[in-house]
Structure 1
Amino acid sequence: MDLLNPKKYNGDHLDEKSREIMLKTIEFFENMGKAKLKEKASKREWYADFLEFIKENKIFYTLMTPPEYADGDPNVRWDTWRICDFSELLAFYSLDYWYTWQVTVLGLGPIWMSKNEKIKKEVAELLKNGAVFAFGLSEREHGADIYATETKLVPQPDGTYKAYGRKYYIGNSNVAAIISTFARIADPDGSLPDKPDKSRFAFFALRRDEKYYELIKNIVDAQMFVGDFLIHDYPVTEDDILEKGEEAWDAALNTVNVGKFNLGWASIGICTHAFYEAINHASKRRLYGMYVTDFPHIKRLFVDAYARLMAMKLFARRACDYMRVASREDRRYLLYSAMVKSKVTREGEEVINLLWDVIAAKGFEKDTYFEMAARHIRALPKLEGTVHVNMALILKFLPKYLFEPAEFPEVPKMDVPKHDEFLFNQGPSGGLSQVRFHDYQKVYDSFDFPNINVFKEQIATFKEMCMAAPPSPEQMRDFDFMVTWGEMFALLVYGHLILEAAKIYDVDKDLLEEIFDFMIRDFSKFAVELMAKPSATDKQIEYAKKMIKRPVPDKERFERVVKKVYSYADAYEMNP
């Protein structure tokens, strides 16, 4: 596995049609050039040319339509492997362009999950003709707290509904053909029950009819359109309903499982382009009589950035395999998807921080990609709630993961071109604490490298702490405390899938050791954080002290990785 390089892209891991889509997309952006890309971004210019390109080449249709609505075209399917590639590629050039794709992914989720065949056939035709879609979930006062949804469907005497409400943070709401809109069914007098009732939830297909649809504004200062809109007296028939009740609730959460996976791949794309720009700049710059890349601290910054970026890609690619083999009996993907959308995106922020320390003031210059990357990378962890929200989700999996492993068939590299049907038939969204996993210990024990062995000591102590000094009921209610606990568990999971991917992609020992060098340091940092928590018990503090470890230094190994990192100098630069 290597970093994406559009100038040397061959796509030999893809089928012919998928490769053609990637190459045409590269050609679109390289023909535009960096100067034009940045000019359009600075002017906040809507990307109509990009959407026309998508339409002409039927790209969204090919990548996001189930085969049963494809009129027999064998290239049309929802294939998570190539969706990850496309997400990475779009964000490599611009998160603004990625965003219209991402929002369409989310908007299609409740549609393909529904039983409304009439809508599905209509949507396939719309996609074929270049339409984009939107996901009408969030509201201004409540964000993504869907229990508190105030958008409502008011029953009418003739069996139809009238929709009323205001949606906020809704991408593509200026152009979407259909907005999959989440609402609650009200009483006939228009009132909503005081307490949330899942039987009252509904998703319906909203069209932008100006008689009922009022687009207020774009709430962000960017090329992308993130809308604030009102709907009033909007007529809704049963033909417009996608799901009701528990199925609507499940569709909301299951869509997030599928769609927000792309956030991690966007981070990988952004970091990769920023990495090329940073190494190109630093390798040519001389200060105090020497090249910037010869300074010891610059070497460390670059090695850490590269190791973290490769770890992001290894974890996300392996998580993709579990997405593709998922079933009602194998729901491991729910943890790994959550990790990609939260852990991988936050690692992306760290990569940009490290690279920014290398290039310093250059990172602010308006003609660089880096200036844009530094702004965009912050958005991705925030697009799916806060760290606390995601850590609460991740912690639900801890008991079964650590203490009740199950047997599963070995999952191979899932690069086979196939439709991932299960993602639109995930079933009930609950029961996360009952999800079983394969034994992480077997994977760790199959490696006998110095830094991996140190990390194994840390996670063994963490597991022991979970048994001998678990969080008390009071601590479990203190999420400031539990976030740190969750961070350590997340690192254990992160290392597990990185090592699985390392075997598949034959990752060399030097890189793995540098990856686990930063993993040891991160684990130690969280152990210190745990010790500092006011509610930490003496026994927990004792365990935390044992988890503070030093990576095994190896100067020769480090210099070999430096040489590898510096070999990327001048490997890629976007057309001017």
Structure 2
Amino acid sequence: MTASEFDLYALSEDHEALREAVRHVAEDKIAPHAAEVDEKSEFPQAAYDALRASDFHAPHIAEEYDGVGADALATCIVIEEVARACASSSLIPAVNKLGTMPLILAASDEVKAKYLPPVAAGEAMFSYGLSEREAGSDTAGMRCRALEQPDGSFVLNGQKSWITNAGVSQFYTVLAVTDPDGPRGRNVTAFVVEKDDEGFGFGEKEHKLGIKGSPTRELHFDDCRIPGDRMVGSPGEGLKIALRTLDHTRVTIGAQAVGIAQGALDFALGYVKERKQFGKAIADFQGLQFMLADMAMKLEAARQMVYVAASKSERGDADLPFFGAAAKCFASDVAMEVTTDAVQLLGGYGYTKDFPVERMMRDAKITQIYEGTNQIQRVVMARQLLKG
């Protein structure tokens, strides 16, 4: 048996070179603005410009659509390294993948050819509209309607909640009920909605605990008419496409969580080596060394899970639903723990905005919630286990 037959993943020289390149961009162009982006709750335009200039804004898009064609593992490395500097900025490549993944999985060649190249070129961003006020974890309970008209177009009415980068993105994958009397969960269809479509608007920005540089808003549809050729996949297959999308993109949330945790650990390590108490660096105290060891151990375990899941995503392995859920769940729990411990290691300073770990702790929390709460991830994993 060769190594390639039993290795779950392998980092190539290209992957390592990519990490170095992204880290350079993140440290030079993104990290210096992270605190201000958080403080002002402003979209990280400087980060977007830097990511576009280096083709890191949507690396997953294939070359046939003018993208760089990065594999799933490479895309996770990009997101991880950007999140190490600024979690809000890491949502640029992450949400571009989330928004376009339904197209990649199920759209016609015509829809792909129309919408993927502008994203690859950095001319547009792509968001994803699935959740609603009363349909979060219960996605099949959505109320947004898309009713077909005699001319083949569809009229959308309703709303979507918690939409990342809403108002900044030009394009949106939106899931809506197209057969109100049809079987629950099999009556949902996916569409592409454009920002300037008549009848399409946005709610006010949400005031959030973290990822403040990434705008989160509601999508509002008031007799929003869209052409029928913007359908993604077949009628009634929307929810199936949405859940397949999440199997792939939950891995990127795991990567984001790993990056946030790595940034917090890196800063805490530097701090404890410089901070002195009782006549010596606090890094010399065994109790703190044990904390650091646990942080690094759990972080590395999370990274390995994410990379394995990314490789399964790239191959389309049948067990991706379990591994994607597991990687997202474990990595986000680790990120919350590591960032909280980083605040603890800095003591009172960790609780202030003078140092970045309090921001990282706030940013880490959302990774346990979006793209399916960690309670839902455990439901997904259990179902996969029980199915054998």
TM over 0.5: yes
Percent of residue pairs identical: 20
1:87 aligns with 2:74: no
1:268 aligns with 2:258: yes
Q: List aligned pairs for 1:149-298, cutoff 5 A.
A: 149-186=142-179, 192-193=180-181, 196-209=183-196, 211-221=198-208, 222-298=212-288
1:304 aligns with 2:294: yes
Cross-structure match for 1:521: none
Q: CA deviation at 1:240?
A: 1.0
Q: List aligned pairs for 1:394-405, cutoff 5 A.
A: 394-399=381-386
Residue 146 of structure 2 aligns to which amino acid in structure 1? L
Match of 2:101 among 99, 109, 121: 109
Bigger shift: residues 306-315 or 130-139? 306-315
Q: CA deviation at 1:246?
A: 4.7
Residue deviations 1:243-276 (CA, integer Å, cap 9, x gap):
2345322210010011111111111111111112
Q: Distance in 2 between matches of 1:19 and 1:299?
A: 28
Q: 1:58 to 1:86 in 2, by over 3 A?
A: closer
Q: List aligned pairs for 1:349-428, cutoff 5 A.
A: 349-399=336-386
Q: CA deviation at 1:368?
A: 1.6
Cross-structure match for 2:334: 347
Q: Distance in 2 between matches of 1:33 and 1:202?
A: 37
* Gaps in structure 1 of 5+ consecutive residues: 1-11, 187-191, 400-432, 435-576
Match of 2:125 among 112, 123, 132: 132
Cross-structure match for 2:322: 335
Q: 1:393 to 1:198 in 2, by over 3 A?
A: closer
Q: Distance in 1 between matches of 2:374 and 2:68?
A: 36
Q: Distance in 2 between matches of 1:294 and 1:199?
A: 60
Q: Distance in 1 between matches of 2:251 and 2:30?
A: 28
SS at match of 1:134: strand
SS at match of 1:103: helix
Cross-structure match for 1:314: 304
Match of 1:40 among 34, 37, 42: 37
Q: CA deviation at 1:33?
A: 7.0
Residue deviations 1:136-193 (CA, integer Å, cap 9, x gap):
111122224221111111222333221111111111221222100000014xxxxx33
Match of 1:148 among 141, 147, 165: 141
Residue deviations 1:421-447 (CA, integer Å, cap 9, x gap):
xxxxxxxxxxxx14xxxxxxxxxxxxx
Structure ID, larger Rg: 1
* Gaps in structure 2 of 5+ consecutive residues: 1-10
Residue 82 of structure 1 aligns to which amino acid in structure 2? A
Q: 1:282 to 1:54 in 2, by over 3 A?
A: closer
Q: Distance in 2 between matches of 1:296 and 1:290?
A: 12
Q: Distance in 2 between matches of 1:37 and 1:27?
A: 15
SS at match of 1:158: coil
Cross-structure match for 2:6: none
1:65 aligns with 2:57: no
TM-align CA RMSD: 2.3
Q: CA deviation at 1:205?
A: 0.7
Q: Distance in 1 between matches of 2:205 and 2:129?
A: 15
Residue 64 of structure 1 aligns to which amino acid in structure 2? H
Q: Are 1:181 and 1:206, in contact at CA under 8 Å, matched by a contact in 2?
A: yes
